[in-house]
Amino acid sequence: MKKHWKKILAAFVALFLIVGGYLIYIFQIKEYDIADSEVTEITKETYKIDLPDGTSIELDEDGNIVESEVNNNIPVVSTDNGSSGTNSSNGTTNDDSSTGTKTSTTGNSSNGGSSTGNTPDSGVTVASIKQKYEPVMSSLQSQANSRIDALVGRAYSEYQGKKANGESINYAYFYNKYTSAASELEGRTDKVFYSAISVIEKELVANGYGKSHAQSLINDYEAEKEARRSALLDKAMNR
């Protein structure tokens, strides 16, 4: 009797290994033709986030980070009489017709609004630096989420198209295709985020603070990334 049960158990183990091995093969090892111009357009879409100093960080379709230069001719602060100042350290203005009424954006200006925060008495805190970059992080998250939504929409559209045409649905194909696209999209988002973090770290150091103060932003981003992964799965399952 014992031998009989051992044979049954061995058969179940063998069956489990065969099925498990097959699933690993079709989902993880087997290669599929997943080329899709619409998916590529979504994953390669340019990222662009504007920084508080008037510059921007852009990720082109080839995955290259492009940082714009500061344009010192762009007015960044206005006084009560409507005239504008610049980012220059000597407090000069772009308006030659009005003098003596302008404020500069350096740490030595009368309004105390430092664009660089290099002065010891600038009053710049870690919290104020982080707050200044909140719109940057929100913009990046919004762009990432819109791409996730577009990816889910494309997957659903392809699924419905195959179903309407009477084609067989290969779930392993869909899994490989769209997890690969989501992974590429995540990698591109990471690139932009860590470029922005580098800028924040430089500003922290310039104001006498350690780079470690940016770690909380990194932790928040990683948590948001996990949330995006879950949201992607939920959206795919609920379509």
- Using alpha carbons, select from 221, 198, 180, 190 the residue that is nearest to residue 47: 190
Q: Are 192 and 47 in contact (CB under 8 A)?
A: yes
Which pLDDT score is estimated for 63? 87
Q: Kindly give the residue spans of alpha helices, DSSP state H, lying in the chain.
A: 2-24, 37-43, 126-132, 134-164, 171-206, 215-238
Which pLDDT score is estimated for 130? 96
Q: How far apart are CA 111 and CA 60, in angstroms?
A: 38
- Classified as helix, coil or strand, 97 is coil
- Most confident range (mean pLDDT) of 6-20, 97-111, 184-198 is 184-198
Check pLDDT > 70 for residue 147. yes
Q: How far apart are CA 177 and CA 190, in angstroms?
A: 20
Which pLDDT score is estimated for 209? 95
pLDDT digits (tens, 9 = 90+) for 107-144: 443 343 434 444 444 689 999 999 999 999 999 999 99
**Minimum mean pLDDT range among 75-79, 144-148, 163-167:** 75-79
Q: Are 44 and 61 in contact (CB under 8 A)?
A: yes
Which pLDDT score is estimated for 79? 35
Cβ atoms < 10 Å from Cβ of 152: 20
Confidence of residue 11 (pLDDT cuts 50, 70, 90): low
- Classified as helix, coil or strand, 29 is helix
Which pLDDT score is estimated for 172? 86
Q: Which helix or strand (DSSP H or E) is residue 66 part of?
A: strand 65-67
Domain locations along the chain: 1-30, 32-71+122-238, 77-114
Check pLDDT > 50 for residue 80. no
Between 110 and 56, the higher pLDDT residue? 56
Check pLDDT > 70 for residue 146. yes
pLDDT digits (tens, 9 = 90+) for 164-223: 999 988 888 888 898 899 999 999 999 999 999 999 999 999 999 999 999 999 999 999
Residue 71's alpha-carbon distances to 87, 103, 141, 203, in angstroms, are: 9, 18, 26, 18
Between 96 and 190, the higher pLDDT residue? 190
Which pLDDT score is estimated for 32? 57
First to last CA, the chain: 50
Check pLDDT > 70 for residue 77. no
Which pLDDT score is estimated for 62? 86
Nearest-5° Cα angle at 179, 215 to 188? 45
